[in-house]
Chains A and B, each alone.
Chain A
Amino acid sequence: MSIDELIENFEFFDSWEDKYRYIIELGEKLPPLAEKYKTEDWLVKGCQSQVWLVPHKEGDDMYFEGDSDAMIVKGLIAIVLQIYNHKRPQDIKSLSIDEIFNKLGLKEHLSPSRRNGLEAMINKIKFYAG
């Protein structure tokens, strides 16, 4: 699914309940992270839930695996990975996720006060991208 398709899907929801159910579904579909990665080393700091992020290289591109013990957070991770995965590091660094989250109506989840780990995770992705 492309980001445009995702945005289209989100436009379809007229209640927050439907939107959150869909986010939870996205989280359920996200392949779980291998247990060996669920360690302090891959933990993203500064979250109210546990968030793990593991970077990989694939030719010139990067992709990430992520997971969380919270389901809504995991769904949000699925969206973030959808946005960033299989891109070149320079594209990862220059990409404006705010705009996409705005279109998804999820801007509130990027606010630092949320401490849900998304902001920290995005910073970490950009850090791994160099």
Chain B
Amino acid sequence: MFDVMKIRQEFPILAQKINGKPNTFLDSGASAQKPKCVIDKMTQMYLHEYSNVHRGSYFLSEEITSAYEEARRDVQKFINAGSDSEIVFTRNATEAINLVAASYGRKYLTSADEVLISEAEHHANLVPWQVLRDEIGFKLNICRVNDDGSFDFSDFKNKLSPKTKLVAITGMSNVLGTVFPLAEIIAEAHNIGAKVLVDACQLAVHRKIDVQVLDCDFLAFSGHKTYGPTGIGVLYGKYDLLDSMPPYQCGGDMVDKVTYEHTTFDVPPARFEAGTPAIVEAIGLGEALRFLQNIGMDNIAAHEDELTSYGMEKLSSISGLRHIGQAKEKSGILSFVIDGIHPQDLAFILDKEGVAVRVGHHCAAPLVHRMGYESVARASLGVYNTKEDIDILCQAINKAKTFF
């Protein structure tokens, strides 16, 4: 039974007053708050169980190594990967995508190839491909979203060509909230022999992911958006693909044999985890994913879908408010502008009312421009948000309107 008030109790920060007002936190899309179990687990590791991993043959090192590898299995279960060897810990999703660009991209992409992304990509899934394009000389194609924020499937099919080697695409837009039809996208891409990388930063928070059903080749998401700590992210890759890829960074813990003359590298995932990893953060992430699974991703999706519909309806009743992103398949994200109020000014007033929203281009500047704006306000929902949060947001917007 999904009980949002019980869930809220797990997040101590939500009980805190902001500017003397209840903490109406509507910026989980940027980074989610952390449940007590994650904070406690990490504290416990530092207090009683800390040492380096994969190193010493002593009690503490063995303990923490098994906790770190257990966290890898938590990630495996969370996205239903076939093997824990397909889970690479990275610093964040940005690093996961950069890893694919640097390792897979440099090895497999040539100037004769094409890479296809969408208009709705976060800078993290756009800029690495632009930089690599400038280096290698492949063609970077961009498929459209419709004016309502939905995915333009026919444009995607048109832009997919026999030259397309890689489709790098978001599972869910951080500005529009649109859930992309990943299964169909991946099937189409595979039909012409392209690999698919999914940026699942938003998707992983709001929807159940099964990489075996999706059949994606790579999938990236961040720890801090999935209620886990900062400094940890995940790259999933099909094992054979990962195994065919060269290292991304080099150093300790990723090697097989090292001499002064030559080095052979370890197998995945170790090959891609050079140096001491974010050990406690990985373990914290494992705890966060278990927390989500205990609630149930389908329950979370149902709760957030209901809140999203409620939010869309409530916001629509505010005169002069325009939604950005009204696709049918949409959740978790409410982006909008108010006629006559700059989003930055709106955010100042909302902040005074204890309401946290993000304003600006949301690290997706070309998309915000494509939708016709310089800057938009975004309220993003998490597992702990309530209809009351939406009501407070709407009251605060109406208050802001009295200023301008």
- The contact string, 1 if C-beta is below 8 Å from chain A, for chain B 356-374, is 0001100000000000001
- The contact string, 1 if C-beta is below 8 Å from chain B, for chain A 64-91, is 0000011111000000000000000000
- The contact string, 1 if C-beta is below 8 Å from chain A, for chain B 13-57, is 000000100000000000000000000000000000000000000
A69–B340 alpha-carbon span in the complex (Å) = 10
Total of A-B residue pairs, C-beta within 8 Å: 41
A49–B373 alpha-carbon span in the complex (Å) = 12
When the two chains form the complex, which single residue of A20, A21, A50 contacts B348, counting CB atoms closer than 8 Å? A20
- The contact string, 1 if C-beta is below 8 Å from chain A, for chain B 238-278, is 00000000000000000000000000000000000000000
A49 and B404 within 8 A (CB): no
Cβ–Cβ < 8 Å partners of B148 in chain A: none
Number of A interface residues at 8 Å Cβ cutoff, please give it.
15
Cβ–Cβ < 8 Å partners of B19 in chain A: 16
A104–B322 alpha-carbon span in the complex (Å) = 35
Cβ–Cβ < 8 Å partners of A49 in chain B: 342-345, 375
Cβ–Cβ < 8 Å partners of B342 in chain A: 49, 69-71, 73
A58–B124 alpha-carbon span in the complex (Å) = 46
CB-CB under 8 A for A72 and B360, given A20-B403, A24-B403, A50-B374: no
A20 and B404 within 8 A (CB): no
Cβ–Cβ < 8 Å partners of A69 in chain B: 342, 374
Cβ–Cβ < 8 Å partners of A9 in chain B: none
Tell me the smallest distance from the CB of A26 to a CB of chain B, in Å. 13
A48 and B344 within 8 A (CB): yes
B399 (CB) vs chain A CBs: closest residue: A17
- Output the residue of B19, B347, B348, B375 with the most chain A CB within 10 A: B348
A50–B360 alpha-carbon span in the complex (Å) = 10
Cβ–Cβ < 8 Å partners of B360 in chain A: 48, 115
Tell me the smallest distance from the CB of A79 to a CB of chain B, in Å. 14
A121–B375 alpha-carbon span in the complex (Å) = 19
Tell me the smallest distance from the CB of A108 to a CB of chain B, in Å. 9
- Which B residues from 324 to 351 make CB contacts under 8 A with A? 342-345, 347-349
A48 and B404 within 8 A (CB): no
A19–B348 alpha-carbon span in the complex (Å) = 12
Residue B157 is within 8 A (CB to CB) of chain A in the complex: no
Instruction: Please give me the 6 A-B residue pairs with the lowest Cβ-Cβ distance, nearest first.
Output: A70-B342, A49-B344, A70-B344, A48-B360, A72-B345, A48-B344
Interface residues of A (CB under 8 A from B): 16-17, 20-21, 24, 48-50, 69-73, 115-116
Interface residues of B (CB under 8 A from A): 19, 342-345, 347-349, 352, 359-360, 374-375, 403-404
Q: List 6 A-B contacts (CB under 8 A).
A: A20-B349, A49-B344, A70-B342, A73-B342, A73-B344, A116-B344
